[in-house]
Amino acid sequence: MRPIKAEISLGAMAHNLRVARAHAHGARVFAVVKANAYGHGLSRARRAFTAADGFAVLTLEEAANLRLMGVEQPIMLLEGLFGADEIATCAELDLWPVLHQAAQLDWLERAPPARPLQVFLKFDSGMHRLGMPLAGHAAIVARVRGMAGVAGITLMTHFAQADEAAGVDWQLRPFLDVADRYGLPWSGANSAALLRHPQACGAWVRPGLMLYGASPFADASADALGLKPAMTLKSEIIGVQNLRAGEGVGYGQLFRAERPMRVGVVACGYADGYPRHAPTGTPVAVGGGASRTLGRVSMDMLCVDLDGLPDAGIGAPVELWGAHVPVEAVATAAATVSYELLCALAPRVQVEEVE
């Protein structure tokens, strides 16, 4: 069998949820499990996060699957209704949609469900992605409060720079100016806001990335935040090449040996979810030792430097990311973020659940 696999630790995920709760200042915690739980599997997330106060997903299908798995906690639909035809299922499954634009209010007004919904009313406080303008708050809140199809309202916003020096206050201040007038519960924080900006927690927090053990910050490691990486992508060396000085490796011959050296060929490529843009020098662990990738990543293989690792030959274990090689470090080398790498784990990679 091809030796690549992803080990996913439910224990690490449960631990990370406890870290989130410890930072939440009493707010209830929605575990964000969109995108197949950031690549970790919806069913695993359901089992690892039984202590969550709720789950947040993107689609009705994900929400329905969670209900089928026996989830009884509230389930939030992060982008709410994509059409009026989704209202009935929301009521049936007790899903809590976000209302972020006027058309969604129209749908609910025209066809109120028999059982009124808990909703999140989302305001744009400066990110300018989803959300209704804060300036229109009076008319919007009054309208939603008067809807027969709405049982309760939580105000909501989302931060654009919670992970950066600019922080959240430039958005939180105008948002709370409005929210404080209504005495309604509110929800603001994603992982970065939860970890660094306690004032942004409100009644419900929405951590995603941190639950999977990755740091949202460029200047703080997961370890420093007390998080445990939940996913380890590992494989083995399936070929060894002895290069002479001047010889190149792989497509495009992007890496050339300056002196004689040993190169290991690893059973992992971009069709497994490893980023093709990872350049020479991207960190990797071989047989427990630190190494680096060489040359271009191909579909099913990549090459690593075996200089200084004389014992590493065919069958040597390779960690592409995990406890020894932070997924954030691979992401940074490949000019992307850990979110993208975790979500992109390919279906062809076998998953093994570990404690």
Tell me 11's DSSP state. Answer: H
Residues 171, 285: Cα–Cα separation, whole Å: 41
* DSSP assignment of 230-245: -EEEEEEEEEEEEEPT
Helix residue ranges, H only, the chain: 10-23, 34-38, 42-48, 60-68, 87-93, 102-110, 137-145, 169-182, 191-196, 327-333, 338-343
- Torsion angle of alpha carbons 67, 187, 166, 100, nearest 10°? 80
Is the separation of the CB atoms in 277 and 202 below 8 Å? no
CA distances from 189 to 168, 209, 322, 349 (A): 9, 12, 26, 32
Contact pattern from residue 121 through residue 160 relative to ligand PLP, giving x for each residue in contact according to CB under 6 A and a dash for the rest: -------------------------------------x--
Q: Which residues are catalytic?
A: 34, 251
Interface of this chain with ligand PLP, residues 215 to 244, rule: CB under 6 A? 216
Give whichever of 206 and 296 is closer to ligand PLP, judged by the CB atom.
Answer: 206
Give whichever of 34 and 44 is closer to ligand PLP, judged by the CB atom.
Answer: 34
Q: Rounded to the nearest whole angstrom, what is the least distance from the CB of residue 69 to ligand PLP in the complex?
A: 20
Give the strand pairing for 289-294 and 54-57: unpaired
Q: Rounded to the nearest whole angstrom, what is the least distance from the CB of residue 14 to ligand PLP in the complex?
A: 17
Interface of this chain with ligand PLP, residues 260 to 319, rule: CB under 6 A? none
Q: Rounded to the nearest whole angstrom, what is the least distance from the CB of residue 192 to ligand PLP in the complex?
A: 6
Contact pattern from residue 176 through residue 215 relative to ligand PLP, giving x for each residue in contact according to CB under 6 A and a dash for the rest: --------------xxx-------------xxxx------
Is the separation of the CB atoms in 185 and 152 below 8 Å? no
Give whichever of 38 and 321 is closer to ligand PLP, judged by the CB atom.
Answer: 38
Tell me 84's DSSP state. Answer: G
Give whichever of 167 and 250 is closer to ligand PLP, judged by the CB atom.
Answer: 167
32 in contact with ligand PLP (CB under 6 A):
yes
Q: Rounded to the nearest whole angstrom, what is the least distance from the CB of residue 101 to ligand PLP in the complex?
A: 14
The upper half-sphere exposure of residue 318, i.e. CA atoms within 13 Å in the direction of its Cβ, equals 31
Give whichever of 125 and 190 is closer to ligand PLP, judged by the CB atom.
Answer: 190
By CB under 6 A, the count of residues binding ligand PLP is 12
Q: Rounded to the nearest whole angstrom, what is the least distance from the CB of residue 217 to ligand PLP in the complex?
A: 11
Residues 221, 155: Cα–Cα separation, whole Å: 32
Closest CA to 213 of 204, 201, 198, 225: 225
Query: Whose CB is nearest to ligand PLP?
Result: 208
Is the separation of the CB atoms in 257 and 289 below 8 Å? no
Q: Rounded to the nearest whole angstrom, what is the least distance from the CB of residue 352 to ligand PLP in the complex?
A: 24
Give whichever of 270 and 339 is closer to ligand PLP, judged by the CB atom.
Answer: 339
Residues 303, 255: Cα–Cα separation, whole Å: 10
Interface of this chain with ligand PLP, residues 50 to 109, rule: CB under 6 A? 78
Q: Rounded to the nearest whole angstrom, what is the least distance from the CB of residue 305 to ligand PLP in the complex?
A: 33
Closest CA to 288 of 314, 309, 307, 305: 309
Residue 241, number of CB atoms within 10 A of its CB: 16
Give whichever of 78 and 95 is closer to ligand PLP, judged by the CB atom.
Answer: 78
Residues in contact with ligand PLP by CB under 6 A are 32, 34, 78, 158, 190-192, 206-209, 216
